[in-house]
Amino acid sequence: MLLERALRYGPRRLRPSPKVLSFRDGDPSRLAPAAPDDPPLRADHRSSVRAACRALRRPRVDSERDCAICLGKMSAAALIQGASRGIGLAMTGSLLERDPDLRVIATCREPSRATALQDMRNEFPARLRLLRLDLEDEASLAEAAQQLGSEELNLLVNCAGILHDEQMKPERALREIDPVQLHRSFAINAIGPLLVAKHFHAQLPKKGRSVFASLSARIGSIGDNRAGGWYGYRGSKAAQNMFTKTLAVELARVRPDAISVALHPGTVATDLSAPFRRGVSRKPVFSAETAARQLLDVIDGLEAKDHGGFFAWDGSPIPW
């Protein structure tokens, strides 16, 4: 708590330490020389952070990343997977704004090219950390989890997903099915979130409430399928839902206070839905910011009885 008090009330008159080190691997007990890519401490944080570290008999730190690592050991943390755009980006911003004590880890395939995330990090340098994570590269998941060290996550949300891109589009009939594109849909929409669970479930606290949520879609509901088509997207989201339900069974044994759910955000004005919104004119179309707030409200309201459930943006249950 000393570091937090120093940040809040200002520096203390303590003997300085000349050694400059950095918590490069996420573990304050294992220090490495500060690297040039670690952004410097902001002027309004520098004195208080260094004073607090001196009081804790730690070497002096010179980067916001160091400060964030320490704070992460003392406050709640959330990880948003797929945070570079759309709902993931909006959810990252919403979390930072609604809880001044929350530390957020945002992941995406290329953090250095995620300009909106970089801007957000500049605004919240002590509370937002960016990590590379590619759902189609399991080694990147293992590395990201290793960088977190022993840090606990109170919330983990899988946001990344794929419906279409330059090479693929939803299938309207059997003749349009492409095995390569099917495999990619399942790799990103279903296998990816499961691999996140594999590598990050140990970060969930053994005691105390935590939430592991994956953004699914009503179109992945088998019981609600009346229109047909979209084989790859429907099938991969249905598979994701089964993985979420199965994960809930295991988490009940190893993380009994955790809540695992699938969430349907509704139709959201993002790149994913852009070509298909004309067909949903009777349904509300939410901005990414509104969708993020609604989903976080649902997450905040989850109880133990909701573990292993599938819920819409308004909190209503969806049949599997």
**Rounded-to-integer distance, Cα 229 and Cα 207, Å:** 43
**Rounded-to-integer distance, Cα 236 and Cα 138, Å:** 18
- The answer to the question of residue 317 being in a domain is no
| Angle ∠(80,265,113) on CA atoms, nearest 5 | 40
Specify whether 308 is located in the same domain as 247.
Answer: yes
Last residue of some domain: 50, 69, 88?
A: 69
Of 186 and 29, the structure prediction assigns the larger pLDDT to: 186
pLDDT tens for each residue of 290-313: 999 999 999 999 999 999 999 999
Contact 227, 217 (CB under 8 A): no
Last residue of some domain: 26, 41, 69?
A: 69
Place 6 in a pLDDT band, splitting at 50, 70 and 90.
very low
pLDDT of residue 275: 53
Contact 61, 22 (CB under 8 A): yes
Specify whether 219 is located in the same domain as 177.
Answer: yes
Q: Please spell the DSSP secondary structure of 96-128, one letter per residue.
A: HHH-TT-EEEEEES-GGG-HHHHHHHHHSTTTE
Q: Is the pLDDT of residue 65 over 60?
A: no
Pairing of strands 103-108, 128-132: parallel
Tokens matching residue 47: 């004195």
- The answer to the question of residue 29 being in a domain is yes
Specify whether 17 is located in the same domain as 87.
Answer: no
Specify whether 60 is located in the same domain as 88.
Answer: no
Place 171 in a pLDDT band, splitting at 50, 70 and 90.
confident
Specify whether 65 is located in the same domain as 80.
Answer: no
Specify whether 96 is located in the same domain as 151.
Answer: yes
Domain count, the chain: 2
Residue tagged 């120093």 (tokens): 6
pLDDT of residue 271: 58
Specify whether 172 is located in the same domain as 301.
Answer: yes
| Domain carrying residue 272 | 76-312
Q: Is the pTM of this model over 0.85?
A: no
Mean pLDDT of 152-166: 90
- The answer to the question of residue 200 being in a domain is yes
Specify whether 61 is located in the same domain as 89.
Answer: no
Q: Is the pLDDT of residue 10 over 90?
A: no
**Rounded-to-integer distance, Cα 196 and Cα 191, Å:** 9
Specify whether 277 is located in the same domain as 157.
Answer: yes
**Angle, nearest 10°, between helix axes 86-98 and 288-301?**
60
DSSP run (H or E) holding 156: strand 155-158
* Cα R_g (the chain), whole angstroms: 21
DSSP run (H or E) holding 46: helix 43-55
Q: Is the pLDDT of residue 35 over 80?
A: no
Q: Which residues pair with 33 in a beta bridge?
A: 21
Averaged pLDDT of the chain: 81
Specify whether 56 is located in the same domain as 80.
Answer: no
Contact 262, 240 (CB under 8 A): yes
pLDDT of residue 42: 47
- The answer to the question of residue 65 being in a domain is yes
Of 167 and 140, the structure prediction assigns the larger pLDDT to: 140
Specify whether 120 is located in the same domain as 20.
Answer: no
Q: Is the pLDDT of residue 132 over 60?
A: yes
**Rounded-to-integer distance, Cα 292 and Cα 272, Å:** 15
- The answer to the question of residue 320 being in a domain is no
**Rounded-to-integer distance, Cα 234 and Cα 122, Å:** 38
Specify whether 285 is located in the same domain as 155.
Answer: yes
Q: Give the SS3 label for residue 262.
A: strand
Q: Which residues pair with 210 in a beta bridge?
A: 258
- The answer to the question of residue 141 being in a domain is yes
- The answer to the question of residue 50 being in a domain is yes
How many whole angstroms from its chain centre is CA 80?
Answer: 1
- The answer to the question of residue 153 being in a domain is yes
Q: Which residues contact 43 (CB under 8 A, 6 or more apart)?
A: none
Last residue of some domain: 44, 69, 94?
A: 69
Tokens matching residue 286: 């939410």
Q: Is the pLDDT of residue 85 over 80?
A: yes
Share of the chain above pLDDT 90, in %: 62
Contact 52, 44 (CB under 8 A): no
pLDDT of residue 168: 78
Mean pLDDT of 123-141: 97
**Rounded-to-integer distance, Cα 188 and Cα 294, Å:** 24
pLDDT tens for each residue of 174-210: 998 999 999 999 999 999 999 999 999 999 999 999 9
